[in-house]
């Protein structure tokens, strides 16, 4: 029973939004009694008049008037007024001044008029009036299959669809967007559905793989059916659309750039805005008991004590929360390296005094859409401007329901959800897809605001490390959502994710600057960077995305320690953790991903700027701190670093600097690698006059020498000697396939320098593929305190692997007996090595991460291959009959809140359910769950029977619609019929003889999870 003030408010807001769609600001349709609605479509007729006025052309078709305006050489606008009277509900709200119009020309070719700029020609066919667009060289862009049409409710454009044409955009479309919309219908407009299938932060813009984009200049809801033919409609009796003709090899990026030139380029956030944020209510919090605003500082201390980055805190995030001691709270957060944020539930009338007290983040409530998208957009712009009007800071806002133009003033996030594996799954395509509409900063709360678990939190935070922005929201779930709340191993894994994001801030911030020029955000679909790859637009690439051009992220979205179906496009890709190389296009299955490992790949040729060192906040960076470059050499590549003071608006007046890194290397195999770091051009407050540099060059083979501007740098023989030296280099064969580490003394930022590695190789080594690779069979299990074996498979590469020595790194307290070495593994063959491992006697049941290392020799060089993997640590099996609720649960996913032991499913707490009751009978023992639910127990082959009574708990009063099932070792043993709240209690008796693992599952059967409170009452295993 999912009830909360936030949800009730959302329902009320949804009603307001529904009414606003018809009568609110920006709506042009008028509500009419149903029996008077004219639903018949009228299609524009023959052209009856034509007039040219510079870049504006007027076309008459009977009573209807059309107007064509050229905005730039590659952007034009078409308007149609069915009654001849043009209107413009958006006015100057969304589109920005574009400067002088381009030179245009027109000609009459008999059957049509052609209206042309230097880049594009619009054809206006006369009988009937119908439009088509082509490039200057005659290449088709789009053509209408029929003329514009309208009825009392909406106006529609109908386009012919290309045989292989793909479509993207429409803003944030939950669960969709990074793959093609072809053959799908996409809604654009407020719906307050913040889950899979919803469309918060919609944008009435789409782009086509044919090289064009369309922006419908309206506040009205839109519907785009990308079928054959394509029909795009807006719920208003007028037509107003801008068309963009993409040019160059990156036509899609060019279209996004043109669209955001018209509606506003994404803003540049402050650096603290790119660090994780934290939100909660600290004054009068009904969910957490009486607290005060200054209690936020205690939570901030938790980030500091746990050495975790955090950039800002919202201290009043809760209905009716309020605040006090604002200036003191802001000062205290500042001492901890954080900024103050506020939720604008009560509007922005007090913004001036709040900003003067220290507010630097404004989160906009859903109520900002209640009166329509104009109200929402004005709120975003006004809050952004208000921060800037009363401080030297940059405007920084967040909004859950926005419209076109909001990219220039804030972050868009997908609303309030519950933390589950499904939540992770559908969010993966959402944010990369939103980038196709110029939304450069989109995200979702880490692990939602309801529900969640230690595992889902950890997995969700892992991949959101590679989004530019994210936030964690507390106070709504059973447990607060800070990344240190779940204890070990989760705290350490979460810290590593946050620290990696912090280290990557130079890369992320440089992309943020690029977005202000190009409109293209950091999170990208594969189709944007690989438009000619036939799989990039398909389901094969749905659950992965690119972070910039260089990182491919494939999140784990199931309770699993392996990931299948990772599609790597053309090129060489490097496993970020192991250094193993892959040649794309290829699909990677069985990728080993224990809980602490995000499937992550780097593009060969990547040159990634980073902040080295173990820092918690950007405020920890001294002006003369080192800058690091993580380089994967292949061919010619480059990256331009962008830097400014990170917090003020001085960059807008030219106070910033850029520094270009260029790398020259072989396209593969042996050769020299040259890194040229240019002079830092420009200046800003705090710019260092000199700084040291650190390089990690992924070669796979040691260089002969390393020279800085022609001068040999000293070679070191160990990591300790390298760390102790002021400058020099060291080749680490054991790190990620073999890397060369280089560091310099402080060098002037005012001049460039050259680093040259001689007699080394491109990424992958002098003999590509020579190194062995490791794999580990899945589902390996060990017992706490009991010796067992772990199998590791060694596969030789393109050369024999000799003197192969396999070792395992295990958690503290475990014992590992070294395995005997292998003399030789012939090229291309696999040998299995079994290592004896004894977990600690007190090892917790569940997953444990080990690292296999194979030191070997191949192609005349000493090499090291590594592989992280998970083994299962099993609890002792039952030694007699056992209640299911008394056993250790290896898996316990649930549709709402946690499953309950010996109680019905409650809210978000672990023990807030009621007495288990089926058909009036109460039960002392059992499991109360909510579909979809999955509980796994370990029996170790000791049991023979499973018995229970199942049904929908009486507390639901007739609701609910589910099915139960029992699985053993991957095989379904029993499935119930569909059960509802009106069904009789169903007895269960299943033979589980010999089963090691048993899963008790409850699935939703009607697509609605309302009231699916299902009980495994008196659930018991009969065991020897």
**How would residue 730 be classed by pLDDT, with cut points 50, 70 and 90?**
very high
Burial 474-503 (b: 16+ CB within 10 A, else e): bbbbbebbbbbbbeebbbebbbebbbbbbb
Q: How is residue 31 written in tokens?
A: 């509500």
Angle between helix 296-305 and helix 326-335 axes, rounded to 10 deg: 0
Number of H helices, E strands in the chain: 12, 73
Residue with tokens 């395992």: 808
**How would residue 908 be classed by pLDDT, with cut points 50, 70 and 90?**
low
What's the whole-number mean pLDDT along residues 701-705? Answer: 97
3-state secondary structure of 911: coil
What's the whole-number mean pLDDT along residues 914-931? Answer: 96
* pLDDT of res. 1008: 83
With contact defined as beta carbons under 8 Å apart, do 904 and 916 qualify?
A: yes
Say if residue 92's pLDDT is above 90: yes
Say if residue 8's pLDDT is above 70: no
With contact defined as beta carbons under 8 Å apart, do 401 and 366 qualify?
A: yes
More confident residue, 31 or 133: 133
Residue 993 CA, chain-centre distance (Å), reads 44
What's the whole-number mean pLDDT along residues 398-408? Answer: 92
* pLDDT of res. 369: 67
With contact defined as beta carbons under 8 Å apart, do 273 and 104 qualify?
A: no
* Percent of the chain surpassing pLDDT 70: 95
What's the whole-number mean pLDDT along residues 540-554? Answer: 98
What's the whole-number mean pLDDT along residues 203-230? Answer: 97
**How would residue 33 be classed by pLDDT, with cut points 50, 70 and 90?**
very low
* pLDDT of res. 156: 98
> pLDDT tens across 405-429, in order?
999 999 999 989 999 999 999 999 9
Mean pLDDT, the chain, whole residue set: 93
pTM of the full structure? 0.92
Say if residue 16's pLDDT is above 80: no
Distance, CA of 788 to CA of 771 (rounded, Å): 29
3-state secondary structure of 975: strand
3-state secondary structure of 13: helix
Going by C-alpha positions, the residue among 800, 701, 808, 710 that lies closest to residue 755 is 710
Q: Which residues contact 106 (CB under 8 A, 6 or more apart)?
A: 52, 57, 113, 114, 115, 116
Say if residue 17's pLDDT is above 70: no
Distance, CA of 493 to CA of 63 (rounded, Å): 67
C-alpha pair distances (Å), 530 with each of 248, 485, 570: 14, 40, 8
More confident residue, 734 or 910: 734
With contact defined as beta carbons under 8 Å apart, do 619 and 311 qualify?
A: no
What's the whole-number mean pLDDT along residues 141-151? Answer: 98
Q: How many residues does the chain have?
A: 1024
* pLDDT of res. 175: 97
> pLDDT tens across 830-847, in order?
999 999 999 999 999 999
3-state secondary structure of 209: coil
Say if residue 13's pLDDT is above 60: no
> pLDDT tens across 452-500, in order?
999 999 999 999 999 999 999 988 887 899 999 999 999 999 999 999 9
With contact defined as beta carbons under 8 Å apart, do 613 and 628 qualify?
A: no
Distance, CA of 49 to CA of 53 (rounded, Å): 14
**How would residue 25 be classed by pLDDT, with cut points 50, 70 and 90?**
very low
Return phi, psi of residue 434, to 5°: -65, -25
* pLDDT of res. 5: 31
What's the whole-number mean pLDDT along residues 818-822? Answer: 94
DSSP 423-453: HHHHHHHHHHHHGGGT---EE--TTBSEE--
Distance, CA of 768 to CA of 95 (rounded, Å): 52
* pLDDT of res. 289: 74
Q: Please, which residues bridge with residue 1013 across strands?
A: 930
**How would residue 895 be classed by pLDDT, with cut points 50, 70 and 90?**
confident
**How would residue 191 be classed by pLDDT, with cut points 50, 70 and 90?**
confident
Q: How is residue 779 written in tokens?
A: 């589902």
Say if residue 205's pLDDT is above 70: yes
Residue 845 CA, chain-centre distance (Å), reads 31
Q: How is residue 181 written in tokens?
A: 């919309």
* pLDDT of res. 909: 67
With contact defined as beta carbons under 8 Å apart, do 262 and 256 qualify?
A: no
Residue with tokens 């524009």: 44
Cα angle at 879 between 874 and 884, to 5 degrees? 70
**How would residue 363 be classed by pLDDT, with cut points 50, 70 and 90?**
very high
Q: Which residues contact 626 (CB under 8 A, 6 or more apart)?
A: 612, 613, 691, 692, 693, 694, 743
Distance, CA of 866 to CA of 860 (rounded, Å): 19
With contact defined as beta carbons under 8 Å apart, do 129 and 59 qualify?
A: yes
> pLDDT tens across 434-451, in order?
999 999 999 999 999 988
> pLDDT tens across 224-272, in order?
999 999 999 999 999 999 999 998 889 999 999 999 999 999 999 999 9
Longest dimension (CA), the chain: 93
């Amino acid at each position: 029973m999912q009830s909360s003030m936030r949800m009730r408010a959302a329902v009320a807001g949804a009603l307001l939004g529904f009414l606003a769609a018809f009568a609110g600001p920006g709506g042009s349709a008028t509500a009419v009694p149903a029996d008077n609605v004219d639903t018949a479509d009228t299609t524009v007729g023959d052209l009856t008049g034509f007039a040219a006025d510079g870049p504006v052309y007027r076309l008459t078709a009977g009573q209807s008037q059309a107007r064509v305006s050229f905005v730039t050489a590659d952007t034009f606008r078409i308007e149609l007024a069915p009654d001849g009277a043009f209107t413009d509900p958006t006015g100057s709200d969304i589109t920005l001044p574009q400067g002088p119009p381009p030179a245009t020309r027109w000609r009459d070719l008999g059957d049509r008029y052609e209206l042309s700029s230097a880049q594009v020609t619009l054809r206006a066919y006369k009988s009937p009036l119908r439009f088509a667009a082509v490039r200057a060289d005659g290449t088709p862009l789009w053509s209408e299959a029929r003329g514009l049409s309208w009825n009392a409710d909406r106006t529609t454009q109908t386009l012919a669809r290309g045989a292989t044409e793909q479509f993207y955009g429409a803003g944030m479309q939950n669960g969709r967007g990074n793959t093609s919309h072809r053959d799908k219908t996409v809604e654009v407009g407020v719906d307050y559905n913040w889950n899979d299938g919803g469309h918060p932060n919609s944008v009435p813009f789409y782009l086509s793989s044919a090289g064009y984009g369309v922006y419908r200049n309206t506040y009205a809801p839109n519907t785009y059916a990308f079928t054959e033919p394509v029909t795009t409609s807006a719920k208003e009796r007028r037509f107003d659309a801008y068309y963009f003709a993409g040019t160059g090899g990156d036509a899609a990026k060019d279209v996004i750039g043109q669209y955001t030139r018209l509606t506003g380029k994404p803003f540049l956030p402050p650096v603290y805005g790119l660090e994780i944020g934290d939100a909660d209510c600290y004054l009068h919090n009904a969910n957490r008991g009486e607290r005060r605003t200054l209690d936020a500082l205690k939570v901030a201390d938790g980030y500091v004590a746990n050495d975790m980055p955090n950039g800002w805190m919202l201290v009043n995030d809760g209905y009716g929360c309020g605040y006090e001691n604002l200036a003191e709270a802001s000062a205290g957060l500042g001492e901890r390296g954080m900024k103050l944020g506020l939720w604008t539930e009560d509007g922005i009338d007090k913004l001036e005094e709040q900003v003067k007290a220290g507010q630097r983040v404004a989160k906009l409530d859903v109520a900002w859409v209640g009166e329509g998208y104009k109200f929402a957009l004005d709120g975003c712009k006004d809050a952004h401007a208000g921060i800037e009007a009363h401080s030297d800071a940059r405007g920084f806002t967040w909004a859950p329901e926005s419209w076109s133009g909001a990219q220039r003033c804030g972050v868009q996030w997908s609303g309030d959800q519950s933390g589950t594996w499904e939540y992770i799954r559908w969010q993966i395509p959402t944010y990369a897809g939103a980038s196709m509409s110029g939304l450069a900063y989109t995200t979702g709360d880490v692990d939602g605001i309801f529900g969640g678990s230690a595992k889902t939190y950890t997995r969700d935070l892992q991949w959101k490390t590679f989004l530019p922005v994210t936030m964690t929201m507390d106070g709504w779930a059973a447990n607060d959502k800070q990344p240190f709340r779940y204890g070990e191993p989760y705290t350490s894994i979460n810290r590593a994710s946050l620290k990696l994001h912090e280290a990557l801030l130079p890369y992320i911030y440089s992309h943020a600057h690029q977005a202000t020029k190009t409109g293209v955000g950091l999170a990208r679909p594969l189709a944007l960077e690989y438009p000619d790859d036939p799989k990039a637009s398909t389901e094969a690439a749905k659950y992965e995305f690119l972070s910039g051009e260089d990182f491919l992220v494939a999140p784990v979205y199931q309770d699993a320690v392996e990931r299948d179906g990772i599609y790597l496009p053309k090129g060489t890709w490097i496993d970020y953790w192991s250094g193993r190389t892959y040649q794309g296009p290829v699909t990677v299955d069985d990728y080993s991903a224990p809980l602490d490992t995000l499937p992550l790949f780097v593009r060969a040729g990547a040159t990634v700027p980073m902040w080295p060192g173990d820092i918690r906040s950007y405020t920890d960076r001294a002006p003369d701190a080192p800058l690091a470059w993580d380089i994967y050499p292949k061919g010619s590549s480059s990256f331009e670093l962008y830097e400014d003071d990170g917090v003020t608006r001085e960059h807008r007046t030219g106070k910033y600097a850029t520094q270009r890194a260029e790398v020259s290397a072989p396209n593969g195999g042996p050769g020299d690698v040259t890194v040229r770091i240019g002079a830092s051009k420009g200046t800003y407050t705090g710019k260092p006059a000199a700084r040291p540099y650190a390089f990690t060059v992924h070669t796979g083979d040691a260089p002969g020498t390393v020279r800085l501007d022609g001068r040999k740098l000293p070679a070191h023989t160990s990591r300790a000697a390298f760390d102790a030296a002021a400058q020099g280099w060291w080749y680490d064969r054991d790190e990620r396939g073999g890397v060369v580490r280089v560091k310099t003394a402080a060098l002037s930022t005012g001049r460039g320098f050259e680093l040259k590695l001689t007699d080394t190789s491109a990424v992958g080594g002098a003999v590509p593929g020579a190194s062995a690779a490791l794999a580990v069979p899945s589902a390996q299990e060990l017992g706490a305190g009991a010796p067992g074996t772990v199998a590791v498979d060694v596969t030789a590469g393109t050369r024999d692997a000799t003197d192969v020595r396999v070792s395992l790194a295990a958690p503290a307290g475990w014992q590992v007996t070294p395995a005997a070495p292998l003399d030789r593994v012939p090229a291309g063959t696999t040998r299995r090595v079994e290592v004896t491992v004894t977990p600690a006697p007190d090892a917790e049941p569940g997953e444990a991460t080990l690292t296999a290392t194979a030191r070997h020799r191949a192609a005349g060089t000493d090499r090291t291959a590594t592989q992280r993997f998970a083994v299962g640590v099993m609890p002792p099996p039952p030694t007699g009959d056992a209640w299911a609720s008394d056993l250790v649960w290896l898996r316990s996913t649930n549709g709402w809140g946690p499953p309950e032991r010996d109680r019905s499913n409650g809210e978000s707490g672990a023990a807030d359910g009621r007495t288990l009751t089926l058909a009036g009978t109460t039960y002392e023992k059992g499991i109360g769950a909510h579909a979809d639910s999955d509980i796994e127990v370990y029996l170790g082959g000791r049991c023979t029977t499973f018995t229970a009574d199942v049904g929908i708990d009486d507390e639901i009063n007739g609701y609910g619609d589910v099915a139960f099932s029992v699985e053993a070792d991957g095989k379904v043993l029993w499935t119930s019929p569909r059960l509802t709240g009106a069904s009789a209690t169903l007895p269960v008796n299943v033979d589980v003889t010999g089963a090691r693992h048993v899963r008790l599952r409850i699935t939703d059967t009607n697509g609605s999870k309302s009231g699916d409170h299902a009980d495994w009452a008196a659930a018991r295993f009969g065991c020897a």
